[in-house]
Every structure is written in C-alpha cells, then in structure tokens.
C-alpha cells in the first residue's frame, strides 16, 4: 500500500503538531525538532505518541458522515440535496469514490499510528504507563479494523510498524479479520490493566467489552446466518458468536442502568457523564485554537435552517418520515432528539429565561398529537400568537400565522403538504438537537461544535445485548434488555415483540391524529424482533453514526432502502453491473492500483465492471 504504508516517522512529527488542538490528555507539545526515535523512547515522548491514534478518530467522525449515514432508511435529501448522491442512492457508485477512499485511508492511518505506539512500547519506552498505553493502542487498532470490516468486508492486515515503503498487502477474509480483532482484544482483557470505567476519552475495559460485543455480533450475522441474495429469509446456522456477543455486552453494561435522562445524557454540560463508555474529546479555548474554524460537524448534519438566527446546518441529512413515526406518545426522546419548540433565536432554547411573553418562532408537534387543537396553541400564551405550527406527520398539516394589517390581528390558515416538501424547505421541518453545542459561536461554513462525539454508551450497549440475545435464541432476555432502554425514555414497556406497533403514513388524512386518536393512524404489528430492535435503535441512536452498518449487519440494507430511501426506487438500483447486490462499499480503486497483492478481480461484489 504505497500511499498508506509509507514510512511513518516522517508523518508523526506533523501529527504531534496537530495535537496542540486536542483535548485534555491530547494536549501534546510540539517536539518535532527532536529526533523521533530518541524522543518516543522517553516517558514524555511515549506519552505524547500514545495520543496520536485517538486523534485520527476525528478525521473519521468529525466531518460529514458519508459512510455511516448515506444510503439508509433514516436520512433523506434536504435543502442542499444529498451529501454524496452516489453513496445515498447507490446509482453510479464506483470504486473511485473519493469519500470511500478517504475513509479507508484514515482508518489505515489510525492503524499505523497504533502500530507505532506498540513498536516503541515493545522496544522498551520509558514510563510507568507504557503497558496501559499499549493496551489502549490495541483497542483503537481493533476499532479501526472493525470499521473497515463493516464497510469493506475482507481487508488487508498490517500488524507491524512500517519503516520503509511496503506495497504488497493482500486482502484477508472477513472472518479471519474478525478473529484477529478478537485475539487482540482478548489480550487486553487478559492483561486487565485498563480501568473498568473512564470518562476522559481514553479506553477502558467497558469500552473494550462493548467493542468485543459488536465484533462478535457482526461475526455471528456474517458467518452464523444464511439468507437469500437480497438478504431475506434469514436462517441462523450457528449461535456461538451471538452468545459471545451477549456475554460481552453484559460485561460492558457491568450491572449499570442509565443514570440520566435522555436529554441530560446528551446535554453539553454533561459531556463525559457516567453513561458514556467512550467518546472523542473536544475542548474549546485552547491556546492557538480558533474556536470558529475548528471542532466537529455533528450538530450540523441532521436538518435544515429554521431562520437566520439558528445554528449552522448542512441540510444534507434530515430525517425521513419513517423516523418521524417511530416516536410514540410519552417517549421523552422526541423532544430530546428534535428542536420541537424554537424561539426567535435558536439558542434561546438553552440560554434565555422563558416566559409566556417569549416569542415562539415555530412549534413542531409530534405526529400523534391531536391536530384538531392546533389553533388553540397560538392563543394559549402571548408569545405564541404569531407562532407557525407545523405537524411532523405526512401529509403535513400546518397552521400558518399571518398578521393582517387591515384587521390588526393574526389570521390563521390551515394547509397540508407532504413531509418531503417540508423537509427540503427552511423553517418547515425540525432538526436534531441532541448534539447541540449551544456555547459555540455560529459560523456558516465551519465545524464549530465542541460537543464530544460519543462512540459507545450504556443504552447503545443494551441494544447490542438485545440483538445478541435474540439471535442467540433467548427472546425473553432480549426483550428485557430492550425494555431498559424504553423505560429510561418513558416509552411503554413491551410485553412481547409481537405487541409492538410500528406506525406509518399511507399518504392520506388517516396519517395523522385529527381528533379520533392515534390508533386511527395506520400501523403494523407482528414484526420480526430484529425489526423491532432496529426501530428502537433508530429512536435511541438517531443522528449517531451506526445506521448503515446496522442495516448491512442485519441483512436489511436492501429491503429497508427500497422501502424507505426516496433515492432508491427498486432493488435493481443496489445491484451492480456484475449482477450482484452491493452489500459493502466498493473497495477503493486507488488502493487496488497501488497494492501489488490486490487486483481488479479482488473487487467487492456489485462493483466489478
């Protein structure tokens, strides 16, 4: 891999300079004027070096979530269209896609940084924390490989510190990569020197167990099930890895139940709370850092502008109508996920003292609210007189408030439009607020959020456990794990998976509650438990970077895209010129061109010319 596995020492001095903008333990000094081989053997140098594999996670997660969110059932085109139309619709997706190549390269850059930490640690670097930092590097290396297996399947394994140009790394079968990851994480488990829990951004044993559960879960689906070419008719042939996944998910849970409400857990003031197992760290106001040109973009991805006084949004990943209907009466996650009430200035939601006179710019009631009472909302307080009220259902019923100068009063008119129409317009559909950095200065083009990016947390682990136990054949324990998540959200406890109701729009007036109750709205029951779990994951993890991997893993990628991705009109769109479905992203053409051990014949199915 000539581009990826070039000599790493020359790269590390630049990496150390970059770390001056990192958080807490990542605030490394610039030692680029020292000889790397000498500096990294010192205690200070090795500590500095050990931060580099963490920092590379920012390149993967801090920008646009192309490979995590594009081409799924949850996120649709917004005001600015698709962020990457080929990844979102699968049409014309080729191995030359730049976003695919960037992701691939960033993962291998992270792996090589991990290998460098391990090299100097094994060489005898000074310091009392060397063994712990080496186990952290193994965890991060396993994480990078896990991401690669989920996106590309079989990938090359680079297990050593590269000190000269290396260009021959064959793809290793996916199950062997899974075994490699597990073996590495089991070394960390056996050493048992990482703290059980840690909220500083460094790896902990619970984060290790969480990752082991995910790897075993994916391994179970990929090699312990059989299905037809399009993913339907899934049959379990081997439950062993599902059982392993369940056991490690429980070890990650460690007997804990959620300690905070949904909104509190995601509140900026509670970054690094006890319900978070692992997160990428960001800190504002560091020396030499420009806080309006650095940070991450997570808060900006999932919605359109409300008005000119809101946070910056990319308008490229607003949620689709399917997600709208997943939230149920009483579920705290609706208001915890979306900006349901928006004041004249967006950030007033967090920073202003709210009274009855505070002007409400827009109100976005849930689909299940009684729409026959919407006009009364405007008359309820002084601040709501001129509020525009938008239903989130489809067809979208809205109340438009217009000031009539001649009559000197507000006039209210009711109209309807599809959720698709509202979603691609400013100030007509809600945005995800759970990642809001309400301290950041608004900037129209730059990633300004310093809210940490959470990669593993307690309720996410409960959902991994629910899926693992279900696939291991223990439905009662699976349901119990799922209900812990629902209970925290104040959603109704499910007595069985069969009792779950999935509401949806049929494109008529029956699609919203016009005063006859929500059970007038179409719904279906008797879903496969995995579909129920995926719905729960959509509610709990909305805006987090899991969905494409969730659908690929559970073999729902094709079916769910055809049903709910507006850009995919048929399963044929997800089939390549070779007649195979595209279950993975294309293996990067740039890597094929530069790697002597890989040829065009090694390309993933669905992308062969």
- Is the model more confident about 18 or about 579? 579
What pLDDT sits at residue 31?
47
State the CATH number of the domain containing residue 97: 1.25.40.890
The C-alpha atoms of residue 388 and residue 399 are separated, in whole angstroms, by 6
Q: What is the mean pLDDT of residues 21-25?
A: 46
On the question of pLDDT at 183 being above 50, the answer is: yes
Domain that holds residue 431: 298-446
The C-alpha atoms of residue 420 and residue 340 are separated, in whole angstroms, by 18
pTM of the model: 0.94
Asked if residue 469 is part of any domain, the answer here is no
Q: What is the 3-state secondary structure (H, E, C) of 291-350?
A: CCCCCECHHHCCCCCCCCCCCCCCCCCCECHHHHHHCCCCCCHHHHHECCEEECCCCHHH
What pLDDT sits at residue 37?
86
CA-CA distances (angstroms) from residue 413 to 132, 169, 390, 425, 541?
64, 65, 12, 19, 36
CA-CA distances (angstroms) from residue 485 to 247, 262, 332, 539?
18, 10, 11, 10
Query: What integer best gives the mean pLDDT of the chain?
Result: 91
Asked if residue 66 is part of any domain, the answer here is yes
The verdict on 167 and 310 lying in the same domain is: no
The C-alpha atoms of residue 323 and residue 432 are separated, in whole angstroms, by 12
pLDDT digits 0-9 by tens, 541-571 = 999 999 999 999 999 999 999 999 999 999 9
On the question of pLDDT at 164 being above 90, the answer is: no
On the question of pLDDT at 575 being above 90, the answer is: yes
Asked if residue 195 is part of any domain, the answer here is no
Instruction: Report how many domains make up the chain.
Output: 2
The verdict on 570 and 442 lying in the same domain is: no
Q: What is the mean pLDDT of residues 595-608?
A: 95
425, 446, 467 — which closes off a domain?
Answer: 446
Q: Read off the tokens for 516.
A: 């006859």
Asked if residue 523 is part of any domain, the answer here is no
Radius of gyration, CA atoms only, the chain: 25
Q: What is the mean pLDDT of residues 440-467?
A: 92
Asked if residue 535 is part of any domain, the answer here is no
Q: What is the mean pLDDT of residues 296-319?
A: 86
Asked if residue 534 is part of any domain, the answer here is no
On the question of pLDDT at 11 being above 50, the answer is: no
Sign of dihedral through CA atoms 232, 236, 240, 244?
Answer: positive
Across 88-92, 235-239, 343-347, 430-434, least confident range: 343-347
pLDDT band at 308; cut points 50, 70, 90: low
Asked if residue 349 is part of any domain, the answer here is yes
Q: What is the mean pLDDT of residues 52-57?
A: 96
Asked if residue 164 is part of any domain, the answer here is yes
416, 446, 476 — which closes off a domain?
Answer: 446
Q: What is the mean pLDDT of residues 449-468?
A: 98
- CA neighbours closer than 13 Å in the CB half-sphere of residue 109: 20
Single out the residue of 298, 365, 373 nearest to residue 327, CA to CA: 365
403, 430, 446 — which closes off a domain?
Answer: 446
CA-CA distances (angstroms) from residue 335 to 124, 152, 186, 262?
52, 36, 40, 10
What pLDDT sits at residue 17?
31
Q: What is the mean pLDDT of residues 120-148?
A: 98
283: three-class secondary structure by DSSP? coil
pLDDT band at 20; cut points 50, 70, 90: very low
pLDDT digits 0-9 by tens, 359-402 = 998 999 999 998 888 878 999 999 999 999 988 888 888 888 89
The verdict on 442 and 570 lying in the same domain is: no
pLDDT digits 0-9 by tens, 500-547 = 999 999 988 888 888 888 988 999 999 999 999 999 999 999 999 999
């Amino acid at each position: 891999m000539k581009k990826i596995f070039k000599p790493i020492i020359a790269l590390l001095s630049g990496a150390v300079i970059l770390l001056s903008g990192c958080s807490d333990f990542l605030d490394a000094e610039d030692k680029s004027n020292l000889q790397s081989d000498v500096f990294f053997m010192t205690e200070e140098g090795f500590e500095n070096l050990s931060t580099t594999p963490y920092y590379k996670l920012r390149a993967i997660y801090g920008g646009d979530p192309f490979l995590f969110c594009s081409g799924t059932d949850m996120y649709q085109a917004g005001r600015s269209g698709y962020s990457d139309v080929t990844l979102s619709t699968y049409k014309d997706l080729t191995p030359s896609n730049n976003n695919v190549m960037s992701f691939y390269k960033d993962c291998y850059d992270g792996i090589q940084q991990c290998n460098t930490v391990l090299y100097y640690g094994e060489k005898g670097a000074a310091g009392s924390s060397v063994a712990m930092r080496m186990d952290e590097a193994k965890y991060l290396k396993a994480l990078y490989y896990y991401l690669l297996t989920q996106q590309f399947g079989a990938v090359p394994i680079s297990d050593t510190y590269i000190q000269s140009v290396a260009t021959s790394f064959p793809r290793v079968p996916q199950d062997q990569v899974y075994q490699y990851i597990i073996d590495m994480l089991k070394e960390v488990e056996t050493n048992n020197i990482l703290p059980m829990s840690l909220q500083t951004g460094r790896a902990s044993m619970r984060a290790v167990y969480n990752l082991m559960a995910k790897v075993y879960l994916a391994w179970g689906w990929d090699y312990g099930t059989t299905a037809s070419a399009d993913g339907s008719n899934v049959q379990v042939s081997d439950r062993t890895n599902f059982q392993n996944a369940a056991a490690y998910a429980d070890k990650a849970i460690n007997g804990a139940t959620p300690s905070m409400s949904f909104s509190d857990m995601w509140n900026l003031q509670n970054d690094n709370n006890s319900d978070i197992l692992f997160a990428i760290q960001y800190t504002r106001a560091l020396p030499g850092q420009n806080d309006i040109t650095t940070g991450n973009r997570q808060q900006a991805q999932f919605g359109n502008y409300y008005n000119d006084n809101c946070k910056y949004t990319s308008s490229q990943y607003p949620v689709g109508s399917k997600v709208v209907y997943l939230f149920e009466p009483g579920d705290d996650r609706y208001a915890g996920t979306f900006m349901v009430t928006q004041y004249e200035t967006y950030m007033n939601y967090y920073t202003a003292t709210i009274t009855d006179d505070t002007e409400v710019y827009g109100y976005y009631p849930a689909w299940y609210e009684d729409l026959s009472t919407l006009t009364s909302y405007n008359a309820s307080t002084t601040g709501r007189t001129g509020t525009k009220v938008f239903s989130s259902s489809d067809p979208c019923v809205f109340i438009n408030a217009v000031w009539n100068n001649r009559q000197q009063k507000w006039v209210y008119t009711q109209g309807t439009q599809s959720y698709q129409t509202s979603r691609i317009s400013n100030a007509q559909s809600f945005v995800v607020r759970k990642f809001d950095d309400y301290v950041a200065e608004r900037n129209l083009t730059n990633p300004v959020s310093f809210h940490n990016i959470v990669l593993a947390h307690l309720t996410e682990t409960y959902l991994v456990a629910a899926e693992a136990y279900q696939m291991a054949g223990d439905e009662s324990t699976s349901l119990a794990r799922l209900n812990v998540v629902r209970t925290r959200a104040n959603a109704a406890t499910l007595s069985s998976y069969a009792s779950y109701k999935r509401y949806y729009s049929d494109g008529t007036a029956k699609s919203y509650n016009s005063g006859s109750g929500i059970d007038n709205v179409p719904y279906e029951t008797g879903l496969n438990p995995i579909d129920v779990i995926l719905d729960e994951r959509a509610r709990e993890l909305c805006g987090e970077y899991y969905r494409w991997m969730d659908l690929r893993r559970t073999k729902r990628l094709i079916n769910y895209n055809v049903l709910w991705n507006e850009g995919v009109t048929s399963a044929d769109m997800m089939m390549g010129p070779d007649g195979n479905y595209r279950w993975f992203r294309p293996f990067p053409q740039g890597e094929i061109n530069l790697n002597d051990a890989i040829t065009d014949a090694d390309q993933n199915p669905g992308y062969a010319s």
